[in-house]
Amino acid sequence: MIHPSVEAFGLAAALLALGAALVHRLRLPPLPAYLLVGLALGGRLEVEALEPLPSLGLLLLLFSVGLEFGPDRLGQLSHRVLRAGVWDALALPLGTGLGLLAGLEWRGALLLGGILYVSSSAVIVKLILDLRRATYPESEVVLGVLVFEDLVVAALLVLLGPEVGSGLLGGVGLALAYWVVARRLGPLLSRAVEGFSDELVLLTGAAMVGGSAALFHVLGASEGIGAFLCGVVAAGLGLRERLERLFGPVRDLGVALFFLTVGAQALGLLQGAGWLAASLAALGLLLKLPLNLRGAREAGLSPKRQHYAALYLIPRGEFNLILGALALEQGYTLVAQVAVMLVLASIPLGSLLMRYAPDWLGRSRRPGSSEVQRVGRSG
Amino acid sequence: MRVEEVILPGVGRKYTISVHSGDRIVVVVHHSGQRELQYFEKGELEEPAATLDLTDEEARELGAILAGVLFAPEAVGDTRAKLAAETMEWVKVAPGSPGAGQRVGDLATPGAHLLAVLREGEALLPNPHPDTVLQAGDTLVVAGPRAAVERFLRRVSA
């Protein structure tokens, strides 16, 4: 007898593959296709049968965000990139102000501020890789800004944990405990792990991610932060490349399913969403553009690249959904609706703008020069 | 030549290399091992004149050629010639090293071939007889699979 989740998984994977194949022909990145496939399926997709893969996908996503965008990266950023990060961070107080104007209390308004502020490092990195933009100067600025954002939002998540009183205490306590462990036992642990086989590292890593998430949850803190901190600690142990290599494919599969289920569940959540939610989401998209243009100018990019940088930072994703889920738990349905709308709209929109920006913006300035002579191409 | 290195979180490392002529090359080394190269002509800041994608292996081969390792211009010192997985090494027997004073036959290592011994002031000694005794200052030419050659070199010069 076959378990029903196997059928659900097979079907979901096939639909995802179909979606990815369709957009691949258009030379577009696959992530928005996953969301749209989910949206098209709506309630017909058995989300529960797919568990735990989507939840694990999100945790592993946050784990790799912690691996790559941890606090140690902050020291490696140049001053000009940091300035862009500070300009970008103004979106947090501005978004919070919008929330207060919309009649939310400070907690809901802060959650909204975070949701409008943070862009998705996972989605943007994937887009930069898929669209082959890593060599261009705007990517350096954008990735630096993302490091900044992720740290601010991680701190915000610790402060706004699911349970109001104990969550804050638990979150701060655990974060400190992880920091002390990484500091004290770091050299010892990294020596030990060097002798581990790949399989042992994979299993230990998975246990750490799942265990941390559960531990944070039990203490009333955000489980996402548990996974994120796990990544930060692992990066501190010098395991960045190894874990990235080992977890990459597993994570990508889980993330695809996660975005599928986000799409499928979106319609249910958005029922009854009014103009207020829609206009807040739209304002959120617009809010960051001038800030990022200004930041990119401070970072020394040329006018064309300033526009690219601002467009690259449109996609929202993992942290917005986590903040949204938190808002829903705490009774701020409006805020959760804004989060889902933002993610649904910004990923396809941001991908399209990123994909076509060089054609539109590049051509108007120097006709013909955007045709780059491609000498070789592989994988 | 000026080289700047920056970390691209989630992507890899980016090197910007400015050479004497004023041209620039930007190299991104991805976590996946893939390399992206862009070439900018002097004075051009925005659009690369050419781009090139390399796999990890291709990048290493290219790097070896650029470093002059793969097709060495001169056969002196410990020049390495790389013939697929096979290798050829020139090694000098240092005074006091385990190889000095040994019979060639005693150093026999499966897979490694001692092709010739070069001795200062003497004619080249091709295919040395097993009874040939090595002296400090000799230069040995060894060929074979890399692992075997390296085993042989360890026995000679430890």
CATH code where residue B105 lies = 3.30.70.1450
**Which of B:36-75 have CB within 8 Å of A?**
36-38, 45-55, 58
Chain B residue nearest residue A245, CA to CA: B32
Q: What is the pLDDT of residue A163?
A: 67
* pLDDT score, position A363: 56
Residue B81: is its pLDDT beyond 70?
A: no
- For residues B12 and B27, the answer to whether their CB atoms sit within 8 Å is no
- Chain A residues whose CB is inside 8 A of the B46 CB are 302, 304-305, 366, 369
Give yes or no: residues B89 and B36 share one domain: no
At residue A362, the pLDDT reads 65
Mean pLDDT of A340-369: 76
Are both B36 and B103 inside the same structural domain?
A: no
Q: For position B118, what pLDDT does the model report?
A: 87
Q: Is residue A366's pLDDT more than 60?
A: no
* Domain that residue B16 falls in: 2-66
> Are A302 and B28 an interchain contact pair (Cβ–Cβ within 8 Å)?
no
pLDDT bucket at B28, cuts 50 / 70 / 90: very high
Tell whether B84 and B50 lie within a shared domain.
no
**B53 and A378 in contact by Cβ < 8 A?**
yes
| Per-residue CA distances from A291 to A87, A147, A284, A287, A315 (Å) | 6, 17, 12, 7, 15
The confidence score (pLDDT) of residue A2 equals 79
Kindly state whether residues B88 and B152 are assigned to the same domain: yes
pLDDT of residue A66 exceeding 70, the answer is yes
How many domains, in total, are found in chain B?
A: 2
Tell me, yes or no, whether B53 and B96 share the same domain: no
- More confident site: A169 or A330: A330
Instruction: Kindly state the average pLDDT of the residues B29-37.
Output: 89
Residue ranges of domains in chain A, CATH in brackets: 55-259+276-357 (1.20.1530.20)
Would you say residue B73 lies in a domain?
Answer: no
Q: In this structure, are B97 and B29 located in the same domain? A: no
Confidence of residue B36 (pLDDT cuts 50, 70, 90): very high
The mean pLDDT of A139-159, rounded to a whole number, is 88
Q: Both B36 and B97 in a single domain?
A: no
pLDDT of the residue at A365: 45
Q: pLDDT class for A166, splitting at 50, 70, 90?
A: low
The percentage of chain A sitting over the pLDDT mark of 70, rounded to a whole number, equals 93
Q: Does residue B43 share a domain with residue B8?
A: yes
Using the beta-carbon criterion (under 8 Å), do A129 and B50 form an inter-chain contact? no
Is the CB of B125 inside 8 Å of chain A's CB atoms? no
Q: Is residue B74 part of a domain?
A: no
Across the range B93-109, mean pLDDT stands at 85
Question: Among B66, B98, B117, where does a domain finish?
Answer: B66
Sheet architecture: strand order including A373-374:
A373-374, B50-54, B35-40, B24-30, B12-18, B2-8
pLDDT in tens, A201-224: 889 889 989 998 898 888 877 888
pLDDT in tens, A296-316: 898 888 888 889 999 999 999
Question: Which pLDDT band holds residue A87 (cuts at 50, 70, 90)?
Answer: very high
User: Mean of the pLDDT values across residues B123-150?
Assistant: 86
Q: Chain A: give the shortest CA distance to residue B106, in Å.
A: 36
Mean pLDDT rounded to a whole number for chain A: 83
pLDDT over threshold 60, residue B45: yes
- Residues B98, B152 within the same domain: yes
Query: How far is B16 from B6, CA to CA, in rounded Å?
Result: 9
Tell me what pLDDT residue B75 has: 47
The average pLDDT across B35-64 equals 86
Q: Which pLDDT value is given to residue A370?
A: 41
Q: Which pLDDT belongs to residue B76? A: 45
Residue B71 lies in a domain: no
Mean pLDDT over A174-200 rounds to 81
The label of the residue with tokens 């990019």 reads: A301
pLDDT at A379 over 70: no
In a domain, B127, yes or no: yes
Instruction: With beta carbons under 8 A apart, name residues in chain A contacting B29.
Output: none
| B57 and B124 together in one domain | no
| Residue in this structure with the two tokens 């979901």, named with its chain if needed | A12
pLDDT of residue B29: 92
Is B38 a member of any domain?
yes
Averaged pLDDT score across all residues of chain B: 82
Q: What value does the mean pLDDT take over residues B136-156?
A: 86
Whether residue B55 is found in the same domain as residue B97 = no
Position B158 pLDDT exceeds 80: no
Q: Do B9 and A146 touch (CB under 8 A)?
A: yes
Residue B146: inside a domain: yes
Which run of H or E residues covers position B147? helix B146-157
Other C-beta atoms closer than 10 Å to the C-beta of B126 total: 9
Mean pLDDT of A228-249: 84
Domain membership of residue B75 (yes or no) is no
Residue B34 maps to a domain: yes
Residue that finishes a domain, picked among B15, B38, B66: B66
Residues B84 and B150 in one domain: yes
The 10 Å Cβ neighbour count of residue A7 is 12
What is the pLDDT, as a whole number, of residue A367? 40
Min Cα distance A335 → chain B (Å) is 29
- Mean pLDDT value across residues B87-115: 85
Predicted confidence at residue A164, as pLDDT, reads: 65
- Decide which of B34, B66, B98 is a domain's last residue: B66
